[in-house]
Structure formats: structure tokens, C-alpha cells
Structure 1
Amino acid sequence: MTVIVRDLRTEDAEDAEGFSHIRRLALPYMLSTPESVLHDVTHAHPDAHFRPLVAEEDGELIGTANTGVVYDSPQPGQGYLNVYVHPERRGRGAGALLVRTAEEHLAEVSANKLFAWVLDEPANRSFAERRGYRASRSAHFLRLDLANSPLPPRPEAPAGVELRTAADFADDPRPLFELDAETLADEPSDIAHEFTDYEAWLKETWHHPLLSQELTSVAVVDGRPAAFSAARTDGGTRYGTVMTGTARAHRGRGLAKLAKADSLHRARAAGFTEAFTGNDSGNGPMLAINKWFGYEICATEVQHVRELG
């Protein structure tokens, strides 16, 4: 039996389904659908050199990798590779071959510092370390049982604060882009991001098939978005918040908690039974908010870094 690595075939529906299926098995805390896989490929910024890879054994997909360049960072030469292998198909060389192929691709597009998220398990960390990657910061996945866990009551909105949804900004989402860019810049991370390309944000974020504009809650002050909690859903019963933040001028007023509480309550009312989110392990304020809602840590990832050349 021979394992090969090749590019994801966007014209092959079975490829997208297999890619998404492996991601769900290996990382069930992140939402993935065949539609979202194809969207990420077909709407990637050209400067990202985004390349999804699959490992195949005798016609069966057994591993995946997303790899590319962090094009929206002010520091050039930063690349990433995130590799996931079917839990029942490990030990066949798929992971090693995916890493080697991804590294070759990144070297070809002039990346010299590579970042990879690795589940905080001995075998996974050892796999990364043997290939020259050193551990850096960590982040937690959190889960909330929306069907059976009681939610705290919605906090009362401060005077002058109005709750809306992202759908209310459908005619002009630029204010949400500006808020997203400001909050992302302050997120704890080894990689600095600068959202400056509005058209790219529209393609990659605003029109993403997992984004629920109806369940994304926005706290508005004087007609401008001041805080938000961006929601994604998988078309079934799983819901996740992928970014919750507040504009710098409005921090310390509880607006992030307000927006997230509104989104969670409406998600439960809509029939979603599981809620997922993620936080950098050093993001104490957001971890405290999620603990208040009842989230529990269900897994931890450690970012690993390797410098080429």
C-alpha cells in the first residue's frame, strides 16, 4: 500500500467531502463542511499561495494539510502548515509526507518562518519536534452544551447601546470590517495581522458559507459597531464563535459579554445544541467570560515554529 500526496481537486465533490470529514474527525472542535473547504480554496487571496493538500492511500483520503503564506502580516516570509491525519490511519507516513510537501511549497514561495498548530498530545508534539519545530504559545478549544447547560441571563445593555445583528449591515458591512480589523490587531498571537484589504475580507469572511449573519450579534453605539461576536454554523446543530471583540474606545463596559450572550441565547433558541469557541491560553479576560457562560476546555493546541535556512 502506497501513500501519495496531491493537491485537493476542487472539481471533485468527493475530495471536498473527504477533506472536511478528516478535519471533523481529527479536530471536531472546529466547524468544517465541503462547501467551506471549497470556498476557502476558490476565494483565497493570490498572495496567500494557499494550497490544500490531501494524502491518499489506495484511493482513500487519509490526511489533509492547509498551507500558505500569511499575506496580511506586516512581517514578510511567514508561512503556515496545519496537518491532520485520519485517527484510524496514523502511522502510515501520511503526516510526514504532507509536512515535507507543504514545506517544499512554502520554500518555493519564499516563506522562511513556518508556523504549525499541533494538538497538545505527546505523540503529536514529538512528531513536530522531530522535524525541527519548537513549541511556542498555546490555545484552548472550548465547548458548551447548549442543549442541557443553563445559560446566564442576558446582561442588561448599558444606556446608549443597541443590539443588532450582522445582517443589519448587509447593505454596507464596512463598519464591521473596520471593527474586525481593530480587534484582530490586538489578539494575542505569534503572528501580527493587518486587515487592510476590504475586498479580500468580503470574500474570505463576510461571504463565507459558515458565517451566520443572523446569529452574529453586534453592540452598536451612536450608530457604529462597538463590539461583536461573530458566529458560524455547520448547517446542522453545531454553532461556533470565531471572534468576539470590542473597539478600543469602548472596552471595559462589558460589551463583548453582552454581544456574545445575545448570540448564544439566540443560537439555543434556533435549535443549536453545541457551541464551540477558542482562546489563546494567555487571553485571561476572554477565558473568564467563556467560563461565566459555562464553556469548558475540551482540547489544547500548541503552536510550533520552524525557521528555514
Structure 2
Amino acid sequence: MTVIVRDLRPDMRADTEGFTRVRQLALPFILFTPESVAYDAAHAHPDAHFRPLVAEEDGEIIGTAGVSLAHESAEPGQGHVNVYVHPEHTRRGAGSLLVRAAEEHLTAVGATRLLSWVLDEPGNHAFAERHGYRKGRSAHFLRLDLAQGALPPLQDPPPGVELRTGADFADDPRPLFELHAETTSDEPGEIDIEITDYEAWLEETWRHPLLSHELTSVALVDGRPAAFSAARTDGGTRYGTAMTGTARAFRGRGLAKLAKNHSLHRARTAGYTEAITGNDAGNDPMIAINKWFGYEICATEVHYVRELG
């Protein structure tokens, strides 16, 4: 049996379904659907040089790779190499072939530093290190049972604070773009991100098929968006928090917790039974908030780094 690596064909349903199936099995802590896989491929920023790859064995997709440049970073040349193989098809060379193809692509478009998320499981660390990557910071995936778990009770907003949904900003989402940009720039991570392109944000984030405007919560202070919790759903039973944050001027007032609690309650009312999210291991305030909601750490991943040249 021969394993080959090729580009994903986003217009082919069999490809997007195969890509989604592998990701759901190998990485069940992030939401993927065939529609979201096709959308990401079609709407990635050109400067990202985004290239989704698949490993195929006898016509079956058994591995995937998301490959791109971190074009929103002020430091050029940083690339992402995220490889996941079907759990029943490991040790057949698919991972190594995907890494090689990804590195060749990123080197050709100017990458000098590669970063790869690796699940903290037996064998994965050795695989990354054999390919020249060194261990960096960690992050956690967290899960909450919305069907059985007890959420904190809803609270009325304090004076001067109003809760709205993302849908209320359908005509003009720019205030949410500005809030998202500010909070993202303060997130801990290996790469500093600066979101400045409003039109790109509309394409890649606001119009993304997984984003639920109705379940996204926004806390306004005197009419100004001050905190938010962005929600994604798979259209079935799973709900994910894409981002929760507070503008610098309003931190320390519990607004992010307030917004996320309202979003979680609406998600449960809408029939979602599982909530997932992720936090950098060094983001203690957000981890504490999620544990207050009842989330439990269900997996850990490690960011591996390889310096080229």
C-alpha cells in the first residue's frame, strides 16, 4: 500500500469530508465540518500562502496538514505546520510525508521559522524532535458537558452594562473587529498577532460558516463594546468558544465572564450538549474562568518550533 501526499481539492465533497473525518478523529477538540474546510481553503488571505494537504492511501484520506504563513505577525517568515493522521493509520509514513511537503512549500514562500502544534501523547514528541523541532509552550483543550453540567446562574448586567448578541452588529460589525483586534494582540503565544485588515477579518472570521452570530455575546459599557465571547457551532450538538476577551480599559470587572455565561446558557437552550474551548497554559485568568464554568482539561498540546537555516 502506497501513501501519497497531494493538495486538498476544496470543491470535491469527498476530499472535504475525508479531511474533516481525520481531523475529528485525531483532533476532536476543535470544530470542523466539510463546509468549514472548503471555506477556509477558498477564503484564506493570499499572504498566508495557505495550503491544505492530504495524505492518501488506496484512495482513502488518512492524514491532513494545515500549512500557512503567519501573515498577521509583525515578524516575517513564521510558518505553521499542523499535521494530523487518522489514529488507525499511524506509522505508515503519512506524517513524515506531510511534514516534508509542508516544509518545502513554506521554505519556498520565505519561511525561516516553523511552528507545529503536537498533541501531548506517546510518540508525538519523539516524532517532532526527529524532524528537528524543539519543544515550546503548551496549551490545554477544555470540555464542558452542557447537557448534564450545571452552569452558573445568569446574572443581570451591572448598571451601565448591556448584553447584546453578534447578530445585533450585522449591519456594522466594525466595533467587534476593533475589540477582537485589541484582545488578540494581548493573547499569550509563540507569535504576536496584529489584526489590522478589516476586509480580511470579515472574510476569514465574521462570515465564517462555523461562527454563530446569535450565540456570540457582547457586553457594552455605555454603548461601547467592552467584552465578548465569540461562539462557533458545528450545526449539530457541539459548541465552541472561538475567543473571549475584554478591552484593556474594562478589565477586572467580570465582563468577559458575564458575556460567556450568557452565551453558554443560550447554547444549552438551543440544544447544544457539548462545549469545547482552548487556553494557553500560561493564561491563568482565562483558565480560572473556564474552571468556574465547570470546564475540565481534556487534552494538552505542545507548540514545537524549528528554526530554518
- Taking structure 1 as the reference length, the TM-score comes to 0.99
The CA deviation at 1:242 is 1.1
Could you tell me which residue of structure 2 aligns to residue 53 of structure 1?
53
Letter in 1 for 2:84: Y
Q: Provide the secondary structure at the position in 1 that maps to 2:89.
A: coil
Could you tell me which residue of structure 1 aligns to residue 243 of structure 2?
243
Query: How far apart in 2 are the matches of 1:44 and 1:152?
Result: 37
Q: Provide the secondary structure at the position in 2 that maps to 1:192.
A: coil
Letter in 2 for 1:297: I
Q: Provide the secondary structure at the position in 2 that maps to 1:65.
A: strand
Could you tell me which residue of structure 1 aligns to residue 289 of structure 2?
289
Query: What are the ranges of 5 or more consecutive residues in structure 1 without an aligned counterpart?
Result: none
Tell me if the contact between 2:140 and 2:278 (Cα under 8 Å) persists in the aligned partners.
Answer: yes
Q: Which stretches of structure 1, 4 residues or more, deviate above 2 A after TM superposition?
A: none
Q: Provide the secondary structure at the position in 1 that maps to 2:136.
A: strand
Answering whether residue 117 of structure 2 is matched by residue 120 of structure 1, we say no
Tell me if the contact between 2:10 and 2:37 (Cα under 8 Å) persists in the aligned partners.
Answer: no
Q: How does 1:117-156 map to 2 (within 5 A)?
A: 117-156=117-156
Could you tell me which residue of structure 2 aligns to residue 67 of structure 1?
67
Tell me if the contact between 2:73 and 2:194 (Cα under 8 Å) persists in the aligned partners.
Answer: yes
Q: How does 1:60-209 map to 2 (within 5 A)?
A: 60-209=60-209
Query: What are the ranges of 5 or more consecutive residues in structure 2 without an aligned counterpart?
Result: none
Q: Provide the secondary structure at the position in 2 that maps to 1:79.
A: strand
Query: How far apart in 2 are the matches of 1:197 and 1:174?
Result: 11
Letter in 2 for 1:304: Y
Tell me if the contact between 2:11 and 2:38 (Cα under 8 Å) persists in the aligned partners.
Answer: no
Q: Output one character per residue of 1:15-45: Cα deviation in whole Å (capped at 9) or x when no partner.
A: 0000011000000010000000011000000
Letter in 2 for 1:306: R
Query: How far apart in 1 are the matches of 2:260 and 2:250?
Result: 15
Query: How far apart in 2 are the matches of 1:134 and 1:158?
Result: 47
Query: How far apart in 1 are the matches of 2:175 and 2:10?
Result: 33
Could you tell me which residue of structure 2 aligns to residue 9 of structure 1?
9
Letter in 2 for 1:133: Y
Letter in 1 for 2:231: A
How many pairs are equivalent? 309
Q: Provide the secondary structure at the position in 2 that maps to 1:263.
A: helix
The CA deviation at 1:121 is 1.3
The CA deviation at 1:223 is 1.5
Measured on the aligned residues, the alpha-carbon RMSD in Å equals 0.6
> Which of 156-165 and 106-115 deviates more?
156-165
Query: How far apart in 1 are the matches of 2:305 and 2:133?
Result: 5
Q: Output one character per residue of 1:198-227: Cα deviation in whole Å (capped at 9) or x when no partner.
A: 000000000000000000000011211100
Query: How far apart in 1 are the matches of 2:304 and 2:156?
Result: 41
Q: Equivalent pairs: percent with the same residue?
A: 74
Query: How far apart in 2 are the matches of 1:158 and 1:20?
Result: 42
Tell me if the contact between 2:53 and 2:64 (Cα under 8 Å) persists in the aligned partners.
Answer: yes
Query: How far apart in 2 are the matches of 1:144 and 1:155?
Result: 20
The CA deviation at 1:156 is 3.4
Letter in 1 for 2:174: R
Q: Provide the secondary structure at the position in 2 that maps to 1:118.
A: strand
